[in-house]
A and B are shown apart, each in its own frame.
Chain A
């Protein structure tokens, strides 16, 4: 079964700092990769997704992620964070689980706190 690791549990940054959140997955086959964001008290929203093609994916709100197949990684980046980026970020992997189904597996999430 696939698994997803987000190594940073809590990241604290000042506004305008650059952000990189790590995500590694374990699965040997073709995967689709997602980053979701959960603002305080809200539901998960899709930030960006990678299916194929250019490994550098741009999402909403200035976020981007890079898929590095050799490292089984899909790290999330933003050049300059804002206070409004304070949220929890979840990496997820969609991989074939058999019998015509795909299963979405989430990492445990990384809390980002941005200090004004």
Chain B
């Protein structure tokens, strides 16, 4: 158990819908990262937050957005869902993203299925 929690574990929805994935970082960690893992694209970095502010952006679609709240939990919002958005979404957290020895610890993931 890494200490990073994610809810829900599984999510099944229809095309065109909107969903919210939630992540709570390890105690003491200030930074949260979101990744998408699919069979064809592998593990793709989506976005990073640090202490409530967006820090870095990866291959995140405009239909997707995220935020980090004052209690440091984060939510990833996926809208206008398409079949191709079906994937595992992982959250990771770390303590010092500005330090080169920073280590990310991953949560259990949310499996999203879009029908």
Please list the residues of chain A having a beta carbon within 8 angstroms of any beta carbon in chain B: 30, 32, 34, 36, 42-46, 49, 51, 90, 94, 96-97, 100-106, 108-109
Q: Are B56 and A101 in contact (CB under 8 A)?
A: yes
Q: Which of A43, A51, A108, A109 contacts B106 (CB 8 A)?
A: A43
In chain A, what residue has the closest Cβ to B103? A49
Given A101-B55, A101-B56, A106-B42, A46-B105 contact (CB < 8 Å)? yes
Name which of B55, B56, B92 has the most chain A CB atoms within 10 A of its CB.
Answer: B56
Q: A95 — nearest CB in chain B belongs to which residue? A: B100
List residues of B whose CB falls within 8 A of some A CB. 2, 33, 42-43, 45, 48, 55-56, 90, 92, 97-109
Chain A to chain B contacts (Cβ below 8 Å), 8 pairs: A32-B100, A36-B106, A44-B92, A46-B105, A51-B100, A100-B98, A102-B100, A104-B33
* Nearest residue, chain B, Cβ from A97: B56
Q: Which of B42, B97, B105 contacts A102 (CB 8 A)?
A: B97
Q: Determine if B106 and A30 form an interchain contact, defined as CB atoms under 8 angstroms apart.
A: no
Nearest CB in chain B: distance from A111 CB, A: 11
Chain B residues near A36 (CB-CB < 8 A): 106
- A102 near B108 with CB under 8 A, answer no
- Tell me the smallest distance from the CB of B43 to a CB of chain A, in Å: 5
A104 to B56, CA, bound (A): 11
**A104-B104 in contact (CB<8A):** yes
Shortest B26–chain A CB gap in Å is 12
- B106 — nearest CB in chain A belongs to which residue? A44
A42–B4 CA distance with the chains assembled, in angstroms: 13
- The answer to whether A32 touches B106, judged by C-beta atoms less than 8 angstroms apart, is no
Are B106's CB and A104's CB within 8 A?
A: no
Determine if B104 and A32 form an interchain contact, defined as CB atoms under 8 angstroms apart: no
Which B residues are CB-close (under 8 A) to A101? 48, 55-56, 97-98
Q: Are A45 and B56 in contact, with the CB atoms below 8 A? A: no
Given contacts A101-B97, A101-B98, A103-B56, contact A42 B42 (CB under 8 A): no
A51 touches B101 (CB 8 A): yes
Most buried by B among A30, A97, A106, A108: A106
